[in-house]
A and B are shown apart, each in its own frame.
Chain A
Amino acid sequence: MDSTLISQYIISGIVIGLIYSLMAMGITFIYGIMRIINWSMGEFYMIGGYLQYIIITQFLGVKQWYIGVILSMVGVFLLGMVVQWLLIKPMFEGTVGRRAEYATIVTIALGVLFTNVAVIGAGPFIYSPPGYYHNTQIMTLPVSGTRFIAFIGTVVLLSLFYLFLKKTWWGRAFQGAAQNRMGIQTAGIDVFRLDQIAFGIGVALAAAAGALLAPEFYLHPRCGSIATMKGFEIIVIAGLGSIPGVLLAGLLLGLIESLGSVFLNPSFRDVYGFLFLLAILAIKPTGMFEERERVA
């Protein structure tokens, strides 16, 4: 097999892997601040996609898809804050042990809730938003327009997210909270506020992925479960709490799936990623780039 073909597959793997990362980023970010896992991330992805669809088809039109993405993100951000305030925050006040158990039960139920509301609201149909861009190519690799856009969008979002974390006051506050929650409180920062916003940002990232990928992977009430699957695959591989780790793991997953499909059987695409995941679970159950044990 010649090298251009291989490099094409590598590029393809990188493209899809990066997009997967966006999903996982939200999961790990929320975990970093609140130490909980949101099992309904996929449903926020779905909501983002549906919002985008509505915005494009009813209001803005396809040409301004990027505004749609932004609006979807904002909408889901607000939804996330409300959900956090109603459901998650009480867990952190007062004497509640067993946060993990509570968070798991509640977020699983939330996922079920959203999925079924979507079926009731939008029907069990598959929606296909119009493509954002014409087909093009990255270097020599032909790429669908949507995937290209999704890739660019992901790069932009991840870069912005990175800048946000490193350069802004809020971002540094989040980093601080992730490292030492109690310390941040003594510094006078309202951790509960941070929690709420972190949750909003996390689900907004998932929504962005949903909005960007809607034309590629279509919209239906259960499309979130696939997103959840990819997101958590990355989380297991990367370990929790490491943002660069998520990026690397996403790329790794994309590459493994891509190369596996090429050299082995393409219909087992999803299997390769999971085989790798199982290997990681067996060797280093806490993931490749796991965070250090937090003190306090």
Chain B
Amino acid sequence: MENLSETKISKLKRGFLLLAGSLFVCLLPLWTGQYYMQVFTIAFYYVVLASSWNLIAGYTGQFSLAHHAFAAIGGYTSALLVTRSGFPIWMGMFAALLSSTLMGFILGVLCLRMRAIYLAIATWAFAESVRIFISMTYKLTRGDLGLAVPKVFLGTGRAVACYYLFLGLATVTVLLLIIINRSKMGYYLRAIRDDEMVARVMGIHTTRWKIFSFIISSGIAGIAGAFYGHYNGLLTPVMVDFSEMALIVIMVVIGGIRTAAGPIIGAIFIEILTETFRGFGEIRMVVFALAVIAIARLYNEGAVGTVRQFSRWIARRKQPRGDVT
């Protein structure tokens, strides 16, 4: 165990890293061109998806496989309202929030009494239904051809504006999730994951909190999807393909499930590697998949967990012998 000064030092280290990281992302547009700004913009989109999925799957233990579907629901809702009903974009986004939250609520209620296995299958089925629905109702959504979406921020400087927009979204999301995790709700969710019956016996209204976590995570995903649509200018059913969900899972596991920094690190890391190694698309996925399997198999906690283990190991090495009781 670390003694007091060690804890202070590690807190300082973390604070420093946080500061350095924040400065880096805030000032990025100053020294990179459009290409990297776009890469990071998409990375921030995934940070939002990964973090919000971590809330429901990592912390609450409801391993939903429908997260990408909420992004799609949000995205398409906003896109359709704006293109077909002439809504302003901000109203479209609000509608996206409403629709994805509502669907999240419905799915959450359906899945209340389901054990882990059934929950995975039910959420999978929900996501596939959404995908098929979007594909099939091509009169409305243009199906596989893709739906053109009015872009937010037109003109020069668009890349920078979108970069900061998504950075802001990611920051707000992460902060919100950190607040939740540190609050009483955070305790309740983690307790639900560890042992739901005991949680009830301890007085936790598990139904309430499970649905709540569904609503929050799906709402966030919905907004992210809407942002994505208005950024990208195009939405296709591919965004609700199972491979997108697999990607979210991979990002969170590699980064470190059940940590605040894990989804951030995982999303950014994987997205950057994806872009850098565009030519070697499949090999990179093979590497990621192997990494996930190794991490899961060795009960490692991803990047964040490894860093923590490492610093604990270092701290232990530094302690004088005979200090350990």
Could you tell me the distance in whole angstroms from the C-beta of A84 to the nearest C-beta in chain B?
13
A31 within 8 A of B: yes
A229 within 8 A of B: yes
In contact, A37 and B246 (Cβ under 8 angstroms): no
Complex: A267 Cα to B286 Cα, angstroms: 35
Q: Please, what's the 1-or-0 string for A174-198, where 1 marks a CB less than 8 Å from any CB in chain B? A: 0000000000000000000000000
A87 within 8 A of B: yes
Collect the chain A residues with CB atoms within 8 Å of residue B110's CB.
281-282, 285
A contact face: mostly helix, strand, loop, or mixed = helix
Collect the chain A residues with CB atoms within 8 Å of residue B113's CB.
285
In contact, A112 and B121 (Cβ under 8 angstroms): no
Chain B residue at minimal CB-CB distance from A31: B117
In contact, A116 and B285 (Cβ under 8 angstroms): yes
Could you tell me the distance in whole angstroms from the C-beta of B163 to the nearest C-beta in chain A?
29
Stretch at the interface among A2-10, A103-111, A139-147, A151-159: A103-111
Cross-chain contact of A109 among B121, B129, B296 (Cβ < 8 A): B296
Could you tell me the distance in whole angstroms from the C-beta of B96 to the nearest C-beta in chain A?
22
Collect the chain B residues with CB atoms within 8 Å of residue A113's CB.
285-286, 289-290, 293
B175 within 8 A of A: no
Collect the chain A residues with CB atoms within 8 Å of residue B285's CB.
112-113, 115-116
Complex: A254 Cα to B126 Cα, angstroms: 20
A82 within 8 A of B: no
A100 within 8 A of B: yes
Count of chain B residues with a beta carbon within 8 Å of a chain A beta carbon: 41
* Size category, A interface: 35 or more
Chain A residue at minimal CB-CB distance from B57: A101
B145 within 8 A of A: no
| Given A236-B122, A278-B129, 11 additional A-B pairs, CB 8 A | A31-B117, A96-B299, A104-B249, A105-B292, A106-B296, A112-B250, A229-B128, A240-B118, A240-B121, A267-B136, A285-B114
Give A contacts to B, CB under 8 Å: 31, 35-37, 86-87, 90, 96, 98, 100-102, 104-106, 108-113, 115-117, 119-120, 225, 228-229, 232-233, 235-236, 240, 267-268, 270-271, 274, 277-278, 281-282, 285-286
Give B contacts to A, CB under 8 Å: 57, 61, 63, 65, 110-111, 113-118, 120-122, 124-126, 128-129, 132-133, 136, 242-243, 246, 249-250, 253, 282-283, 285-286, 288-290, 292-293, 296-297, 299
